[in-house]
Amino acid sequence: MEDCIFCKIIDGKIPSAKVYEDDNVVSFLDIMPANKGHCLVVPKKHYETLLDIPDGDLANLIKATKKITKALSLSIGNGSFNIIMNNGKIAGQLVSHAHIHIIPRFKGDRLRLTWSHKKYIDQEMKSVQEKIKKFV
């Protein structure tokens, strides 16, 4: 994609602080990190969301994410981390190229990933369950 900032990073047209690269995936530091060490893991092929990524490429993406997460934790000493993937604008995806965020967490970092909790009413949970199961 010509306009995609991540494709430009992958092609070397825009500089980045790469921490990992292989034939399928590239990872670099987020320029607006939630915490220092916040990395993005990006498939080299352009896919918009998780649902667009073929299973083989998704497996490569997840394996690379695990490898980078371990390296991140060993190098900067965070004991915890968040793995986040926003899919679609409503979910907060700002760049329309599938990517995973690895956010290192530290005691007292004051970073909050929260949402308001909702409740099912009557048989609503059962109804939602049945709808989902039809497509699995």
Catalytic residue ranges = 99
Angle (CA) 112-114-125 rounded to 5° is 160
SS3 108: coil
The residues, any chain, with a CB within 8 Å of residue 112's CB and separated by 6 or more, are: none
Check residue 51 and report its DSSP letter.
Answer: G
